Amino acid sequence: MKTELNSMKWHILIIIIVCILIIPVVFAVSNSFKTLADAFSNMFNIIPANPTLENYIHVFEKLPFLQITINTFFIAAIVTGFKIITSLLAAYAFVYFHFRGKNLLYFVLISTMFIPFTVIMIPNYLTISCMGFRDNLWGVILPQLSDALGIFLLRQSMRTIPRSLIEAAYLENVSDFKIIKDIIIPLVKPALISTGIIFFINSWNEYVWPVLVLKSKENYTLSLALQMFISAEGGTEFTIAMAVSVMTMLIPLVLYIIFQKHIINTFTMSGIKG
Amino acid sequence: MKTELNSMKWHILIIIIVCILIIPVVFAVSNSFKTLADAFSNMFNIIPANPTLENYIHVFEKLPFLQITINTFFIAAIVTGFKIITSLLAAYAFVYFHFRGKNLLYFVLISTMFIPFTVIMIPNYLTISCMGFRDNLWGVILPQLSDALGIFLLRQSMRTIPRSLIEAAYLENVSDFKIIKDIIIPLVKPALISTGIIFFINSWNEYVWPVLVLKSKENYTLSLALQMFISAEGGTEFTIAMAVSVMTMLIPLVLYIIFQKHIINTFTMSGIKG
Amino acid sequence: MKDIIFDHVLKAYGKNVVVKGLNLNICEGERLVLLGPSGCGKSTTLRMIAGLENITDGQLYMDGRIVNDIPSGKRNVSMVFQNYALFPHMTVEDNISYGLKVQKVDPREIEERSKAAISMLDLNGLEKRKPKELSGGQRQRVALARALVKRSDYFLLDEPLSNLDAQLRVHSRKELVKIHEMYHQTFVYVTHDQVEAMTVGHRIALMYDGILQTIDTPSNVYNRPANVYAARFIGAPSTNILEANLNEGKLIMAGQHIVPPEVWIQKMKENGGDMFYFGIRPEHTKITTDYMDNALKGIVRYTEDYGNKVGVYFDINGKELISVCDNNVPATGEKVYFTPDYSKIHLFDYKTENSIGYPEDLSKHNYGVVYELRGRLAGDRS
Amino acid sequence: MKDIIFDHVLKAYGKNVVVKGLNLNICEGERLVLLGPSGCGKSTTLRMIAGLENITDGQLYMDGRIVNDIPSGKRNVSMVFQNYALFPHMTVEDNISYGLKVQKVDPREIEERSKAAISMLDLNGLEKRKPKELSGGQRQRVALARALVKRSDYFLLDEPLSNLDAQLRVHSRKELVKIHEMYHQTFVYVTHDQVEAMTVGHRIALMYDGILQTIDTPSNVYNRPANVYAARFIGAPSTNILEANLNEGKLIMAGQHIVPPEVWIQKMKENGGDMFYFGIRPEHTKITTDYMDNALKGIVRYTEDYGNKVGVYFDINGKELISVCDNNVPATGEKVYFTPDYSKIHLFDYKTENSIGYPEDLSKHNYGVVYELRGRLAGDRS
């Protein structure tokens, strides 16, 4: 039975969680439409006293903003695509094949999740330097073509597929790649989407690695652009930074709206039924 | 049936994935024990020609390294702990309670996963500034007390628990908190551990947010310390940076070894059985 | 009075009404079986008693009080779930004593009660095992022990034997009855298996499509089915049902006719109308390849060997009937003569599908004597 | 010859040997049922035929070739899985035609074959539905259609009816047989349900603990069980088995004795030894409350009403036996006299537990005449 939620403590808990997660977003959107003076006098007013677009206009004047957005999207899309493909194939191999050293290999792969990114940052930097990818979007992308988290999440999801479905396909002499395409992908779609979202957003947010690789403004990503307007004291560029923030949010938001139905299903449904 | 893996293409795929994930680690460890000259002449040699500890010694002389490690650990541990607790409680409420607006609320929470961190960074900065937590570890911690990803992952895991187990507890008049403690936590332990690992490593790796909040060297975290030795050209401090990298890896590695058995079970088992 | 009363109870999920105005009295200490096919609402009914489902409309009384809003934990019920619902991370011992520990029962009493349950259900030596180290039958007994140790007044069982092998099921249903006869809780048992229902229940409540079809003793449910549905559901193979038209003392069925005993004609006339459903169980019929008077003629389509009996499916002008016989089994394609045992036939009103009742003293109307004499005559003639 | 031959086939998972040196010939076009309790190795055996399990040792021949290393897709087998294994994201139509499409069969032929299968299995109008929109019976028919459309020579079914309601199961097993009689594939059917096995199989292979216990026709498996295990497993309630000591023409069982017909004594002497297992099915016994000569005396412990019959559990010096009777049911606690039908008893060697065989022409040795006469005399005397 689902009991009605009637005790106070649960309500308070959920309200606190929502506040922690939602309020900063509202704050950013609201301040991006304020003048600097307005922002400093009424920082926590949700509705701007004198709504203005000047912060946005300033950003577009100062930076090749469209290019920066495209860069960020390009990196995130390619990285996500590759990570998903490699994770899917590796997870399939780990779930449905026997091979020598399989458990050891899986163990090693999972161990890499424990290695802080900073450890592999410099080796990766040197590698892509050697390959001539400094200040190049591909330099950001290349070391990020696979991800143990994706292998783990997709493997977990594949294990919920009744093995008899795969066996039914074996009986029809279906090849592995066709099984992946016709059966596995449709059935792990929720996990694929959620894993994809995690990869995409992580790449979108990335700062440390792109700042190392990318030098010229026309190669910047959104987080680098944002950093330009941030001064620790909140300074004179505060509302502009808010505008960059909001624009950073734009593409994920548009994607979210486009794929809304799938995403909601993904995060609401559990596994495979019937 | 598990088929034997005998086709070449699958082997190649898995080898590539392992290379992408493993080689940089080996590279970092090996170069941290080289002198700078040795590193530049034989950068891709795995075994250092003249192993040296001078890089490590240098780090300890230049920085309060123990304090920095403790800071990083403190932040990661508290953040992970809070995120896990709030995620667990929220997931429980979403799975086992009925309340008005539940689906809408869940939808909103999940939407926050799409908001780049950079968007909420400045609002959070201003909030913690107001609260007087600038250059304070708690300033790093406070905005990170809950996480929609955790709610999602734990909710998915809870949904695999047969509802009859919870109902059997209801029949015994067991309170919700006791159900969580006695039944939910033991049964979602694998998901708790994997979610905890993700949170811990993410916090461990964090750079953009701590660099904004923390100013004094004694408050630094490991990623900030590492950044000090990184110059884009690889420069004269390259091997020192590698040493910092390796030390960054140390605590996660120790934790990994301590919890090895649990972690392996977590990432090998799937869900709840009989 | 540890009774349970459903008073116009309705349960809906959104627009989907799964229990439709149920009225049902379950007496203190009786074994009531809720029987029906999957999706008939029987499990939902049980779960409403347990407090695991909200009641959409109507009242549920337990022990004289309305319990609609009383939570599960306060209803004094024990339940055995179909999947047993054992806590997979706890040992057998911990599973059994968990509820008592939560209730802060005195540790000495917990130990005493657990030990009693463990030894009654023959679980000695398994105390430290986890559920996954047990066989299906052992798990089922642990679930039973966990329910028993609570010593509650209501004992609910949701298809408790459905995950067991056939041999074990036969054994376990007997054990369940024995346990009940020791404690005499009010016992509500859900199953889709009619043999289980017949052997376990004092009374059987047959449900279909959210509606209580009949509630009666096993013997009456079998021998005096209240309606066509009950006649069809109980018994395997299923009761043969034919549309029958009463016309000048003859019953016309599938284009042929038979002459039933006068007592039955009388009963039909009392009921009124001339259309009925005629029902006869396969085991209450005789078929012969020799000519018989007052029999329906059919062609054998298919036979099934049950070991001690044979099921003969035959076709009477396109209607499929089945007869179960011991010997002289006709072959597929043979022409057969079919006679029901008139002391065991059922007649139902055509509109309501309810039984029209039974004449008194049917014993002299079975086919026995008449059939054998006529059969012999017919044999001579053919 | 589309036959299947197991030649000393062994299947082990690590140290756990689940099929222990199986020798089994399955003939072209026959319906063979693999019967046994869960964990007996029957499903593994089926899956080895399908190529879904590797063979640890021994040879499996299909169509005259060793197929140990032939992958599933090349064995020309169709299979119906217990959970049906329908692709949940595909419509009924796509589920049925998927295999043919992958095999690049001509689209017109795919359509033709799919339509034939859909209409044969009465799935018209459901073509566009997803599996989750179907009832259990419909899913089962889709799984069957998907297997049929392939028109393969081997048809494997792994407990295909176990997820269906009782009524539907009775209907479906008949349909399965009809389908087989249309196509005459080599048909291997796994089940734990003995009624299904009896009604579906040309032959039944009974397995237990990875070992083939007996393989014979349903009638022989029931009437002439090869060993104690087969006698116990087939029939519900189970065959009564008693240790019996042959001593001077008497069989001493549970401290009492009866005198069996001379033909049986002869048979026991031929076998040698003086210890046997005596077996008799509950439905082949008679119990009376009146005194009877040459009967075992017991006390009734428990009765179960099956509707048309009653099961009487009684106790003979601590051994529990069961008798199934029609009428004159004794009450719990009553003293009863128990007589087996000597034309239906089974005797097994004490060491090997194998049947000692049966004397010729047993028909005159059933209790019929003797019993009725003696019963009447006894009644007079009491």
Calpha distance C15→C10 (Å, rounded) = 12
- DSSP, collapsed to helix, strand or coil, labels residue A8 as helix
Predicted confidence band at B235 (pLDDT cuts at 50, 70, 90)? Answer: low
Same structural domain, C90 and C208: yes
Same structural domain, B150 and B183: yes
Could you give the percent of chain C with pLDDT greater than 90?
Answer: 78
D370 occurs within a structural domain: no
The token pair that represents A136 in the structure block = 């190049």
Same structural domain, B203 and B217: yes
Nearest CA-CA distance, residue A83 and chain B, Å: 10
Calpha distance B200→B73 (Å, rounded) = 9
Same structural domain, C58 and C124: yes
The answer to whether residues B193 and B266 touch, using CB atoms and an 8 Å cutoff, is: yes
- DSSP, collapsed to helix, strand or coil, labels residue C340 as strand
Q: What would the pLDDT profile of D298-350 be if each residue is shown by its tens digit?
A: 999 999 988 888 999 999 999 999 999 887 889 999 999 999 999 999 999 99
Q: B7 Cβ partners below 8 Å, 6+ apart?
A: none
Whether the predicted pLDDT of C369 surpasses 50: no
Whether the predicted pLDDT of B268 surpasses 90: no
The secondary structure element, H or E, covering residue C57 is strand C57-62
Nearest CA-CA distance, residue B190 and chain C, Å: 13
Same structural domain, D270 and D185: no
CB contact under 8 A, A162 and D85: yes
D378 occurs within a structural domain: no
> How many other C-beta atoms lie within 10 A of the C-beta of residue B51?
12
Nearest chain B residue to D70 by CA distance is: B3
Predicted confidence band at A13 (pLDDT cuts at 50, 70, 90)? Answer: confident
Whether the predicted pLDDT of C380 surpasses 50: no
Q: B63 Cβ partners below 8 Å, 6+ apart?
A: B217, B220, B225, B228
Same structural domain, A194 and A236: yes
Q: What's the rounded mean pLDDT across residues C23-29?
A: 95
Of the residues D228, D243, D269, the one at which a domain ends: D228
Closest to C214 measured CA to CA, from C343, C353, C8, C346: C353
The token pair that represents A79 in the structure block = 């990285």
Same structural domain, C290 and C263: yes
D139 or D362, greater pLDDT: D139
Same structural domain, D222 and D237: no
Calpha distance D250→C310 (Å, rounded) = 35
Q: D61 Cβ partners below 8 Å, 6+ apart?
A: D3, D4, D5, D7, D67
Confidence at residue C62, expressed as pLDDT on a 0 to 100 scale: 96
Closest to C39 measured CA to CA, from D168, D262, A124, D124: D168
Half-sphere exposure of D251 (CA within 13 A, CB side): 29
Is the preceding omega at residue C237 within 30 degrees of 0, hence cis? yes
Give the Å distances, CA to CA, from C374 to A101, C284, C367. 81, 18, 10
The region of weakest confidence among A249-258, C239-248, D232-241 is A249-258
Backbone angles phi, psi at D240, to 5 degrees: -70, 130
CATH no. for residue C241?
A: 2.40.50.140
A 1-60 → C contacts, CB under 8 A:
1, 3
Is the preceding omega at residue B24 within 30 degrees of 0, hence cis? no
Residue C272 contacts A where some CB pair is shorter than 8 Å: no
Calpha distance A229→A36 (Å, rounded) = 13
Calpha distance B33→B31 (Å, rounded) = 5
Q: Partners for B (CB, 8 Å, 3+ pairs)? A: A, C, D
To the nearest whole number, what is the mean pLDDT of chain B? 84
B247 or C244, greater pLDDT: C244
Same structural domain, B173 and B103: yes
Calpha distance C114→C150 (Å, rounded) = 9
Is the ipTM value over 0.90, yes or no? no
In terms of phi and psi (left: phi > 0; alpha: psi -120 to 50; beta: otherwise), the region of B9 is alpha
Same structural domain, B81 and B21: no
A197 occurs within a structural domain: yes
Q: What's the rounded mean pLDDT across residues D1-16?
A: 93
Whether the predicted pLDDT of C58 surpasses 90: yes
pTM across the whole model: 0.84
B183 or B52, greater pLDDT: B183
Confidence at residue B187, expressed as pLDDT on a 0 to 100 scale: 93
Rg (CA), chain C: 25
Tally of domains in chain B: 2
The answer to whether residues D189 and D154 touch, using CB atoms and an 8 Å cutoff, is: no
C9 occurs within a structural domain: yes
Of the residues C205, C228, C251, the one at which a domain ends: C228
The region of weakest confidence among A223-227, B26-30, B110-114, D120-124 is B110-114
A40 or D34, greater pLDDT: D34
The token pair that represents C124 in the structure block = 């000695």
Confidence at residue B18, expressed as pLDDT on a 0 to 100 scale: 78
Whether the predicted pLDDT of D91 surpasses 60: yes
CB contact under 8 A, B1 and A126: no
The token pair that represents D76 in the structure block = 């020309």
A274 occurs within a structural domain: no
Of the residues C209, C228, C247, the one at which a domain ends: C228
Q: ∠ CA(C37), CA(C162), CA(D168), 5° rounding?
A: 40
Same structural domain, B133 and B232: yes
Same structural domain, A33 and A61: no
Confidence at residue B126, expressed as pLDDT on a 0 to 100 scale: 82
Q: What would the pLDDT profile of A164-175 be if each residue is shown by its tens digit?
A: 999 999 999 999
> How many other C-beta atoms lie within 10 A of the C-beta of residue D318?
7
C188 occurs within a structural domain: yes
Confidence at residue B28, expressed as pLDDT on a 0 to 100 scale: 84
Whether the predicted pLDDT of C355 surpasses 60: yes
The answer to whether residues B113 and B186 touch, using CB atoms and an 8 Å cutoff, is: no
Whether the predicted pLDDT of B3 surpasses 80: no
To the nearest whole number, what is the mean pLDDT of chain C? 91
Half-sphere exposure of B167 (CA within 13 A, CB side): 22
> How many other C-beta atoms lie within 10 A of the C-beta of residue D274?
12
Tally of domains in chain D: 2
The answer to whether residues D355 and D271 touch, using CB atoms and an 8 Å cutoff, is: no
Same structural domain, A133 and A187: yes
CB contact under 8 A, C218 and D136: no
Confidence at residue D14, expressed as pLDDT on a 0 to 100 scale: 87
Whether the predicted pLDDT of C229 surpasses 90: yes
Closest to D237 measured CA to CA, from C32, C238, C308, C282: C308
Place of tokens 């196509």: D183
CATH no. for residue B160?
A: 1.10.3720.10
Closest to D310 measured CA to CA, from D282, D289, D288: D282
Same structural domain, A63 and A48: no
Confidence at residue A248, expressed as pLDDT on a 0 to 100 scale: 86
Q: What would the pLDDT profile of C141-154 be if each residue is shown by its tens digit?
A: 999 999 999 999 99
Same structural domain, B29 and B136: no
The token pair that represents C329 in the structure block = 């089994």
Confidence at residue A266, expressed as pLDDT on a 0 to 100 scale: 67
Same structural domain, D224 and D235: no
The token pair that represents C117 in the structure block = 């349950």
Q: What would the pLDDT profile of C88-123 be if each residue is shown by its tens digit?
A: 999 999 999 999 999 999 999 999 999 999 998 989
Domain extent, residue B170, equals 54-269
Confidence at residue D17, expressed as pLDDT on a 0 to 100 scale: 94
Give the Å distances, CA to CA, from C216 to B5, C30, C157, C202, C219. 62, 12, 19, 8, 8
Domain extent, residue D14, equals 4-228
Confidence at residue C31, expressed as pLDDT on a 0 to 100 scale: 96
Calpha distance B126→D136 (Å, rounded) = 60
To the nearest whole number, what is the mean pLDDT of chain D? 91
Confidence at residue C326, expressed as pLDDT on a 0 to 100 scale: 82
A26 or C31, greater pLDDT: C31
Q: Partners for D (CB, 8 Å, 3+ pairs)? A: A, B, C
Whether the predicted pLDDT of D129 surpasses 90: yes
Same structural domain, D212 and D300: no
CB contact under 8 A, A173 and D98: no
Q: What is the dihedral of CA B127, B131, B137, B143, to 10 degrees?
A: -30
CATH no. for residue C37?
A: 3.40.50.300
Whether the predicted pLDDT of D99 surpasses 70: yes
CB contact under 8 A, D88 and A273: yes
CB environment D93-132: b (16+ within 10 A), e (fewer): bbbbbbbbebeebeeeebeebbbebbebbebeebbeebbe
Whether the predicted pLDDT of A111 surpasses 70: yes
DSSP 8-state secondary structure symbol assigned to residue A139? H
Starting from the edge strand earliest in sequence, which strands make up the sheet with D319-325, in order? D285-288, D335-340, D296-305, D310-316, D319-325
- CB-defined contacts A:C, below 8 A: 7
Same structural domain, D50 and D13: yes
Q: What's the rounded mean pLDDT across residues B117-144?
A: 87
The region of weakest confidence among A79-83, B263-267, C105-109, C200-204 is B263-267
The token pair that represents B131 in the structure block = 């609260």
Among C85, C102, C131, beta carbon nearest to B167 = C85
B153 or B20, greater pLDDT: B153
Calpha distance D310→C179 (Å, rounded) = 21
Confidence at residue A163, expressed as pLDDT on a 0 to 100 scale: 93
Whether the predicted pLDDT of C277 surpasses 60: yes
Whether the predicted pLDDT of C219 surpasses 80: yes
Nearest chain A residue to D151 by CA distance is: A172
Calpha distance A143→A162 (Å, rounded) = 35
Give the pairing type, strands C16-26 and C65-66.
unpaired
Cα–chain center distance at C257: 32
Confidence at residue C308, expressed as pLDDT on a 0 to 100 scale: 82
Strand partners, C252: C245, C257
Best mutation target, B98, B171, B262, to test chain C (most C CBs within 10 A): B171
Same structural domain, C199 and C218: yes
B256 occurs within a structural domain: yes
Q: What would the pLDDT profile of B79-110 be if each residue is shown by its tens digit?
A: 999 999 999 999 999 999 888 778 888 888 87
Confidence at residue A271, expressed as pLDDT on a 0 to 100 scale: 40
Same structural domain, C202 and C295: no
Q: Partners for A (CB, 8 Å, 3+ pairs)? A: B, C, D
Same structural domain, A46 and A155: no
Confidence at residue D292, expressed as pLDDT on a 0 to 100 scale: 87
Whether the predicted pLDDT of A93 surpasses 50: yes
Residue B173 contacts C where some CB pair is shorter than 8 Å: yes
Whether the predicted pLDDT of C352 surpasses 50: yes
Of the residues A17, A34, A52, the one at which a domain ends: A52
The token pair that represents D265 in the structure block = 């004594």
Q: Exposed, middle or buried: residue C369 (CB in 10 Å: 0-12, 13-18, 19+)?
A: exposed
Predicted confidence band at A60 (pLDDT cuts at 50, 70, 90)? Answer: confident
Confidence at residue D382, expressed as pLDDT on a 0 to 100 scale: 38
CB contact under 8 A, C222 and D165: no
Estimate the share of chain B in helix, then strand, then coil, as percent rounded to the nearest 5. Answer: 75, 0, 25
Q: What's the rounded mean pLDDT across residues D56-69?
A: 95
Place of tokens 């001078």: B54
Confidence at residue D180, expressed as pLDDT on a 0 to 100 scale: 94
Calpha distance B73→B253 (Å, rounded) = 13
Same structural domain, C151 and C278: no
Confidence at residue A185, expressed as pLDDT on a 0 to 100 scale: 96
Whether the predicted pLDDT of C203 surpasses 80: yes
Same structural domain, A87 and A44: no
Q: What's the rounded mean pLDDT across residues B47-72?
A: 88
Nearest CA-CA distance, residue B274 and chain C, Å: 6
Calpha distance D94→D81 (Å, rounded) = 17
Calpha distance A138→A79 (Å, rounded) = 10
Whether the predicted pLDDT of C358 surpasses 60: yes
Q: What is the DSSP string of B57-83?
A: HHHHHHS-HHHHHHHHHHHHHHHHHHH
Could you give the percent of chain A with pLDDT greater than 90?
Answer: 28
Predicted confidence band at C245 (pLDDT cuts at 50, 70, 90)? Answer: very high
A245 occurs within a structural domain: yes
Whether the predicted pLDDT of C192 surpasses 70: yes
Backbone angles phi, psi at B198, to 5 degrees: -60, -45
The answer to whether residues C253 and C307 touch, using CB atoms and an 8 Å cutoff, is: no
Q: What's the rounded mean pLDDT across residues D1-12?
A: 94
Nearest chain C residue to B165 by CA distance is: C85
Calpha distance B84→C166 (Å, rounded) = 46
Same structural domain, C222 and C236: no
